[in-house]
């Protein structure tokens, strides 16, 4: 399979993964700039209370984004497998099913989020002085849930056929618009958190329109016909087998972060602001991780469709090494610059103290999380989505909840709360290593058992005929 003149089924594996990942990294970087721009501009123009108010919504917002990305991941995996087998009728069905799914889920998230936001924030023990800011920001943000799901679905289709250039262009324009509107609404008009939220909704709506227009006007087998948007049951079922586990995984892990956030909120607005700044700055490392993971997932799906199990086995080893080297290097750079990064968000001394300390803890362990993402992407790219979901729920969400109820009462400190993240990453890595040791031969195509049905009840090979 060749995408953007990059052959994923032949050649030097680590170079192909890295080159294919570069546009994905830029796309994720642009997407992350949305939230970073909001927090920096609000923190500098509207003060600590407003900054903490925006930051307190991050874990809830991540649930929405996680669901959107999870559903689009299912479509992207099916797209790359169908495209590699040149099943153009199947490709037509994938595109239109994906958009129908995006519309339905986006409208549902908008309604649920808008009405449930106040209750969610109160359950999280959001400090009273920042609760009005958080409520305002979150309710407006949820009005953008539909364009978020539409953009991610359209971008997932384009990535599945090997086009990462157009999603990058659309998202770059959206980020520039977002930052410009932030400066206008927050800096000039002094609209505070509502201005930052409306800037996001408007910018995300524009990106959703651009990706939809691109698909609707392309003269390709994956062209989108707006009048034909509908569900095709076989495609829907196939994509949801990957998308629902991935979406639920992201949703429930984000829900565990909501739980952790409720404990952070008890330390007051400076702790909330510091944790928000640290999380947003550390997220650039996460951008690297998620971009490489998407590339690994695409690589595995393409080689599965081509029947190249030998490259799947080698690709796993190359990906793990590549991820470790890049993530530790970037984490080290951010650790050296953590004071300057903290000051960019908010110069308040107490906020900066929280920010730098949290960065020190999290960045020291991001490589552990990075390795788990490679293993999970490998499984999802091959159609094995159940174990990554279950492992994340138990080893990340479950461990964090247990940690808060068992360890925190014994050592009551802010550091114990932050350590919930690296502890859960470590447990998840151990689970993946055990799983690959146990199921490795079957998963990686070693021996005749690789042809048998996988854990989800369907063949490893992508169907070659119409869906």
The H helix count followed by the E strand count for the chain is 18, 2
Which residue range is the domain that position 147 belongs to? 2-451
Domain membership of residue 433 (yes or no) is yes
pLDDT of residue 271: 94
Domain membership of residue 459 (yes or no) is no
Angle at 170 between CA 165 and CA 176, to 5 degrees: 125
Q: Are strands 6-7 and 2-3 parallel, antiparallel or unpaired?
A: antiparallel
Q: Is 47 exposed, middle or buried (0-12, 13-18, 19+ CB in 10 A)?
A: middle
Domain membership of residue 458 (yes or no) is no
| Whole-structure pTM value | 0.74
pLDDT of residue 129: 92
Calpha distance 98→229 (Å, rounded): 8
Domain membership of residue 215 (yes or no) is yes
Domain total for the chain?
A: 1
DSSP assignment of 376-401: HHHHHHTT--HHHHHHHIIIIIIHHH
Calpha distance 137→121 (Å, rounded): 11
Domain membership of residue 462 (yes or no) is no
Calpha distance 436→139 (Å, rounded): 42
Domain membership of residue 70 (yes or no) is yes
pLDDT of residue 343: 93
pLDDT of residue 460: 34
What does the pLDDT profile of the chain (467 residues) look like in tens digits? Answer: 444 445 565 667 777 777 777 776 776 777 677 778 778 999 999 999 999 999 899 888 887 777 777 777 788 778 877 876 677 788 889 899 999 999 998 999 899 999 999 998 998 889 999 999 999 999 999 999 999 999 989 988 887 787 878 888 898 899 899 999 999 999 999 999 999 999 999 999 999 999 999 999 988 888 999 999 999 888 888 888 777 776 776 777 777 888 889 999 989 999 999 999 998 888 889 888 888 888 888 788 777 766 777 787 888 888 999 999 999 999 999 999 999 999 999 999 999 999 999 999 999 999 999 999 999 888 888 878 788 888 888 888 889 989 999 999 998 899 999 999 999 999 999 999 999 888 766 766 644 444 443 433 333 333 233 33
Domain membership of residue 464 (yes or no) is no
Tokens, residue 66: 């996680």
How far from 210 is each of 67, 70, 144, 288, CA to CA, in Å?
21, 21, 15, 25
CA dihedral in degrees (195, 197, 203, 208; nearest 10)? -150
Task: Give the number of other Cβ atoms within 10 Å of residue 413's Cβ.
Answer: 10
Calpha distance 367→351 (Å, rounded): 26
Calpha distance 98→80 (Å, rounded): 13
């Amino acid at each position: 399979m060749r995408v953007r003149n990059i052959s994923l089924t032949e050649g030097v594996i680590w170079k192909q993964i890295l080159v294919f990942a570069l546009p994905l990294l830029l796309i994720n970087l642009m997407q992350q700039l949305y939230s970073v721009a909001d927090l920096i501009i609000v923190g500098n123009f509207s003060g600590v209370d407003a900054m903490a108010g925006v930051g307190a919504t991050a874990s809830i917002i991540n649930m929405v984004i996680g669901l959107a990305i999870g559903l689009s991941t299912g479509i992207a995996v099916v797209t790359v497998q169908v495209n590699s087998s040149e099943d153009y009728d199947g490709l037509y069905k994938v595109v239109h099913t994906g958009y129908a799914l995006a519309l339905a889920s986006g409208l549902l998230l908008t309604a649920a989020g808008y009405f449930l936001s106040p209750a969610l924030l109160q359950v999280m023990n959001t400090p009273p002085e920042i609760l009005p800011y958080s409520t305002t920001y979150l309710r407006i943000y949820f009005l953008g849930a539909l364009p978020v799901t539409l953009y991610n679905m359209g971008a997932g289709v384009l990535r599945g056929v090997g086009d990462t250039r157009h999603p990058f262009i659309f998202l770059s324009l959206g980020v520039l618009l977002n930052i410009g509107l932030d400066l206008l609404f927050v800096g000039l008009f002094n609209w505070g958190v509502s201005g930052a939220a409306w800037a996001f909704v408007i910018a995300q709506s524009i990106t959703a329109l651009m990706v939809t227009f691109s698909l609707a006007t392309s003269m390709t087998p994956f062209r989108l016909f707006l009048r034909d948007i509908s569900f095709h049951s076989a495609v829907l079922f196939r994509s949801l087998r990957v998308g629902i586990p991935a979406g639920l995984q992201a949703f429930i892990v984000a829900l565990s972060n909501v739980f952790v956030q409720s404990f952070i909120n008890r330390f007051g607005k400076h702790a909330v602001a510091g944790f928000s700044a640290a999380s947003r700055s550390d997220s650039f490392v996460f951008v690297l991780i998620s971009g490489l993971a998407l590339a690994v997932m695409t690589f595995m799906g393409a080689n599965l469709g081509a029947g190249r199990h030998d490259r799947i086995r080698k690709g796993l080893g190359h990906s793990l090494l590549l991820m470790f080297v890049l993530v530790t290097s970037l984490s080290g750079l951010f650790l050296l610059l953590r004071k300057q990064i903290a000051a960019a968000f908010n110069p308040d001394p107490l906020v900066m103290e929280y920010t730098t300390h949290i960065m020190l803890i999290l960045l020291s362990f991001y490589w552990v999380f990075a390795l788990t993402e490679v293993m999970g992407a490998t499984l999802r790219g091959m159609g094995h989505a159940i174990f990554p979901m279950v492992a994340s729920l138990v080893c990340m969400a479950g461990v964090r909840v247990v940690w808060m109820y068992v360890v925190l009462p014994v050592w009551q400190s802010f550091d114990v709360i932050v350590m919930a993240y690296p502890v859960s990453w470590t447990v998840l890595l151990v689970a993946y290593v055990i799983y690959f040791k146990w199921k490795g031969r079957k998963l990686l195509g070693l021996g005749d058992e690789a042809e048998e049905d996988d854990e989800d009840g369907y063949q490893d090979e992508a169907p070659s005929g119409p869906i």
